[in-house]
Each structure stands twice: as C-alpha cells, then as structure tokens.
C-alpha cells in the first residue's frame, strides 16, 4: 500500500502527458509484457473453474479498471478535503465486506484499528484542505464525491475478492491474469486514443516514469498484496490501505515540495497506531504461539 500511494503521487506528471485511458492501456501492456511467464499454470494448481474465472474478471474490472476511472475523475471534480475524507473509509469498507461475504470474524482490535485509520486520514484531509484554494470545488463536486465513494467500494471489493482467489491460485498467476483482463478492457479506448496521439512529443523522463508506474502498479504491488492476503484476513489487511493516502502525501512533501505541519504529523501517528492495533499479536496469541513451539 505504501508503494501504491507512492506511484499514485508520482503518476500525476504522467496524467498531464497521456490521456487517462491511454495511460491505463500502456500500463497494462508494459506490465503484461514483463510477466508473460507468470501466466503459465503450475503443475500443482487446479484448472480454472467457472467461478474462479468470474472472480478474476471482477477483480480486474473493479480493482483495476473502475477504480482508476473513479479515483482520477473524482479527484478532478471535487476538493482535496472531500477526497481525503472519503478515501479514509476504505479500511472500514473492507472490514464490512469481509464480514458480509467472507464471513470473517472481525476482532474488536481490528475495528479499533479501522477507527484510528479513518480518524487519521480524516485529519490529514482537513489539513490538506487548509492549503486548498476555494476554487478547487466545481459545480460537479457532488458527482466527484459519488465517484470517490465508488472508488472506495471498488478498492474494498478488490481486497475481498483477492482473498477469495488466493485460496485456489498463486499470487503470481492472479497478478498476471487480472492484468491481462485490464489490458483487454482498456484496449478499445487505448487504440482509439493512440491513433491521434503524438508519441514523439513525449519526453524521455516521462517514458522512464511510465516504465516505473507500469511495473509498480501492474506487477510489484499486486504480487505483494496477493502474497500477503494468503496469510492475513481481509479485514486485517484492509487496515493497511490507510498507507495509500499517507504515502501519497509523504511523496508529495518529499518529492513535490508540499508542506507538512503538525496536524499532518498527528494524522500519520493515528493512522500508524491503527495499523499496529490491527496487526500486532495480542498477549494471548503470543502465549499460544510460545506453547505450540514448546
């Protein structure tokens, strides 16, 4: 999630060079070329069932395609305050969906971690709002807020479906297949936009940034997320999505020259406390682990 937030922040210059859907198409194409060898089915893995194929499509459609469109378009239409507050709901949305669809028991400590995460990013959003000009809001801010709520649900669905998939498929194969679906979904738009796009006018630095963005967004982060989901409940993993807006803000401060004040530092502390609450083993768990080793 830290890496996701980093490439989201660093992809801002790319969005100024490439149209959003062309950028998405190039991302999936470059990422797919880098992991063609991950598509091969291992000998110990069962053939894809109809349900697994359906889940793989939904994972890509919701987590890759719709999330990107909702997030980028939503942020353009609304204010930084609204975007930060709404995206702070991702951990809670993951916990609720995992309880509803995976029948996971969400421990009180995880709910407390979710609450800290939401409060921390809410404070961060309010702090960022102090820098935002009043002119950021548009007459379509309500639509932007709805799109951001859609992005929250897409990201939460991505975590829950990913947990389901890791029960039958390996992380590398999941990563490669959902990227292939993303490439298929964006190809009609990508080809149409590429027809009139002046690729010769793209500077070399943008191509290097595109390479990093493609490998990070399509390959590295997805593989790390799916690997972690194999051994961590979805509700607990969802708390880590708090690191997405945190790392994006830190990259903005360190690489893009934005200001960091006391309220932002308090927000980071609360959010990280939420992660610790949800992930550090309890005393009972440590005692059980020690007993099992003996």
Q: pLDDT at position 288, please?
A: 36
Q: pLDDT at position 191, please?
A: 96
Q: pLDDT at position 61, please?
A: 95
Q: Rounded distance, CA 72 to CA 85, Å?
A: 16
Q: pLDDT at position 211, please?
A: 92
Q: What angle do CA 95, 96, 98 make, to 5 degrees?
A: 65
Q: pLDDT at position 224, please?
A: 82
Q: pLDDT at position 26, please?
A: 94
Q: pLDDT at position 244, please?
A: 63
Q: pLDDT at position 136, please?
A: 47
Q: pLDDT at position 181, please?
A: 94
Task: Give this prediction's pTM.
Answer: 0.72
Using an 8 Å Cβ cutoff, are 109 and 283 in contact? no
Q: pLDDT at position 160, please?
A: 86
- Binning the chain into helix, strand and coil, the percentages to the nearest 5 are 80, 0, 20
Residues of the chain with pLDDT under 70: 1-12, 75-76, 78-89, 104, 106, 117, 120-141, 234-261, 263-265, 267-268, 271-272, 274-294
> How long, in residues, is the chain?
294
What SS3 class is residue 58? helix
Q: Rounded distance, CA 24 to CA 53, Å?
A: 22
């Amino acid at each position: 999630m830290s890496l996701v937030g980093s490439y989201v922040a660093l992809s801002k210059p790319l969005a100024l060079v490439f149209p959003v859907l062309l950028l998405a198409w190039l991302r999936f194409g470059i990422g797919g070329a880098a992991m063609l060898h991950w598509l091969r089915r291992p000998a110990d893995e069962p053939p894809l069932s109809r349900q697994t194929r359906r889940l793989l499509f939904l994972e890509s459609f919701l987590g890759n395609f719709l999330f990107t469109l909702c997030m980028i378009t939503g942020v353009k239409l609304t204010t930084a305050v609204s975007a930060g507050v709404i995206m702070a709901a991702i951990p809670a949305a993951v916990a609720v969906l995992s309880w509803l669809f995976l029948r996971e028991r969400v421990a009180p400590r995880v709910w407390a971690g979710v609450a800290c995460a939401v409060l921390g990013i809410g404070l961060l959003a309010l702090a960022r709002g102090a820098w935002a000009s009043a002119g950021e809001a548009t007459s379509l801010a309500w639509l932007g807020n709805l799109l951001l709520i859609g992005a929250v649900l897409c990201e939460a669905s991505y975590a829950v479906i990913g947990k389901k998939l890791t029960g039958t498929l390996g992380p590398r194969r999941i990563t490669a297949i959902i990227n292939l679906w993303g490439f298929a979904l964006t190809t009609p738009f990508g080809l149409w936009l590429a027809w009139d796009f002046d690729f010769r006018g793209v500077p070399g630095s943008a191509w290097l940034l595109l390479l990093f963005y493609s490998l990070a967004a399509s390959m590295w982060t997805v593989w790390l997320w799916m690997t972690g989901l194999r051994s961590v409940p979805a509700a607990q993993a969802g708390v880590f999505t708090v690191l997405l807006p945190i790392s994006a803000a830190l990259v903005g401060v360190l690489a893009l020259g934005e200001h960091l004040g006391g309220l932002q530092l308090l927000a980071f502390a609360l959010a990280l406390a939420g992660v610790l609450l949800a992930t550090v083993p309890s005393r009972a768990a440590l005692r059980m682990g020690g007993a099992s080793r003996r």
